Homo-oligomer: A and B are copies of this chain.
């Protein structure tokens, strides 16, 4: 009654829950509780949970645009990775959203633009797809690993090498292959 419910506030609450407990803790009922509101109230401002996940993904990806991005795919990849890492399970959420609405201005579009300067339209499209699949997959695994260690299913001992080096190795291999 004090503050009106908004898509804005719902996404904000969702991000709070995500940072607290990850994707496993993100239920419509938890979001409603966070906002001290009945679960049904959310559906006035948001069509469904899938719809909400897409909104969250947009917010996560939007922070990529804030960083200084040149026409270098390498820098764009690093900026996207940083953006995804700001929220627990961020890569999985963006992955999901991209699968759901392939038309929106997703990471794919960013890379398509960057690659369009050096490649044909077809190859820029396919190249952008290759890069985004790798990035989302790599960061998702990075975050999943962290999640499993948090829960205790995995220990620090059997952790893979998910440093920035491994990430950049993949990015560099792909970009090198695209221009050959």
* Chain B positions within 8 Å of A100 at CB level: 144, 148, 153
Query: Contact at A169–B134, with CB atoms within 8 Å?
Result: no
**Known A176-B176, A180-B180: A170·B133 in contact at CB below 8 Å:** yes
**Cβ contacts A to B, 6 pairs, < 8 Å:** A102-B160, A125-B161, A126-B170, A133-B134, A133-B136, A133-B137
* Chain B positions within 8 Å of A177 at CB level: 172-178, 180
Query: Contact at A140–B170, with CB atoms within 8 Å?
Result: no
Query: Contact at B99–A144, with CB atoms within 8 Å?
Result: yes
Could you tell me the distance between the alpha carbons of A88 and B31 in the complex, rounded to whole angstroms? Answer: 31
Tell me, yes or no, whether A123 is within 8 Å of chain B by CB.
yes
**Known A134-B137, A141-B99: A129·B170 in contact at CB below 8 Å:** yes
**Bitwise interface map of A from 77 to 108 toward B, beta carbon under 8 Å scored 1, else 0:** 00000000000000000010011101100000
A residues sitting closer than 8 Å to B (CB atoms) are 95, 98-100, 102-103, 123, 125-127, 129-130, 132-134, 136-138, 140-141, 144-145, 148, 153-154, 158, 160-161, 166, 169-170, 172-178, 180
* Chain B positions within 8 Å of A138 at CB level: 129-130, 133
Could you tell me the distance between the alpha carbons of A99 and B148 in the complex, rounded to whole angstroms? Answer: 9
Query: Contact at A176–B180, with CB atoms within 8 Å?
Result: yes
* Chain B positions within 8 Å of A137 at CB level: 95, 132-134, 136-137
Nearest CB in chain B: distance from A106 CB, A: 11
Could you tell me the distance between the alpha carbons of A177 and B71 in the complex, rounded to whole angstroms? Answer: 20
> Which of B123, B136, B153, B166 is the one whose CB lies under 8 Å from A129?
B166
